[in-house]
Amino acid sequence: MAEQEGRDILARVLVANDGEVISRLRLSAAEAARVCNVTPRQLIYWTKKGLVKPSTEDEHDYDVFAMEKVIRIRQALEKGYSLEKAAAVVQRDLAALSAEVARLEAMAPQELEHELRRRLERLEEQVAALRSSLPASLNIARLRRAVVELGRLENQGMLQAQSGGESTKTAVLRIGRAVEELEHLLREVQPASV
């Protein structure tokens, strides 16, 4: 408990000092790779390709800004992008983020407050929509597991044919299709509300 309180206080200090500690933090390639969940070889390769730049103070160290870019590139790769496309997507996103920060900094205090309130309201609406859809997605996950289990039991010959003439395999397939339709409908509804 005391350790968590210490971390909370440290987080407030890091924010209160305008990021001075964060902007000074430097890690070696091996340490940065470990933090970013990539191999040192990947990090060095990306650096040689010019996709990631090491610290301006030491070409063998990486600052938090470089590590953020590495993490974002890794995440884009996990989504199936090629390395070049991942780097381009990350660069575009970081440029858009930078432009948004500049836009917000240029706003008058009252405009900024109005903008932030509007964003907070939107986030609250998204949270409410997710909360309302969560029970449905959990129930669908349970149905999916039940269909898999029924299929397994039927394959092992542990289920008997139903008295109405429908085979267990047919019933399992029908239930499986119904679950897929429910999942499809849930995916269609979620993006509209989020």
pLDDT at 82: 93
> Rounded CA gap, 16 and 12, in Å?
6
Coil, strand, or helix at residue 108?
A: coil
> Rounded CA gap, 140 and 158, in Å?
24
Q: Does residue 24 sit within a domain?
A: yes
Tens of pLDDT, residue by residue over 166-182, are 566 666 666 777 777 76
Looking at the structure of the chain, the number of domains it has is 2
Can you give the CATH number for the domain in which 42 is found? 1.10.1660.10
pLDDT at 5: 64
The answer to whether residues 99 and 139 belong to one domain is no
Which contiguous run of DSSP H or E holds residue 26? strand 26-28
128: left (phi over 0), alpha (psi -120 to 50) or beta: alpha
Interval 159-163 mean pLDDT: 55
Output the six-digit token pair for 55: 């610290």
Tens of pLDDT, residue by residue over 62-114, are 988 889 899 999 999 998 999 999 999 999 988 888 888 888 888 898 998 88
pLDDT at 161: 54
Q: Does residue 113 sit within a domain?
A: no
Q: At what angle do helices 64-78 and 40-48 cross, to 10 degrees?
A: 100
Helix, strand, coil share of the chain (percent; to 5): 75, 5, 20
pLDDT at 129: 77
> Rounded CA gap, 143 and 137, in Å?
10
pLDDT at 192: 47
The answer to whether residues 143 and 62 belong to one domain is no
Q: Does residue 123 sit within a domain?
A: yes
Is residue 149 very low, low, confident or very high in pLDDT (cuts 50, 70, 90)?
confident
State which residues form the domain around 150.
118-193
Highest mean pLDDT among 5-9, 33-37, 184-188: 33-37
Work out the percent of the chain whose per-residue pLDDT is above 70.
62
Closest Cα partner for 194 from 132, 101, 104? 132
The answer to whether residues 122 and 98 belong to one domain is no
Q: 84, 106, 128 — which closes off a domain?
A: 106
> Rounded CA gap, 43 and 36, in Å?
9
Q: Does residue 1 sit within a domain?
A: no
Tens of pLDDT, residue by residue over 1-22, are 556 666 666 566 555 666 676 7
The answer to whether residues 146 and 94 belong to one domain is no
pLDDT at 97: 83
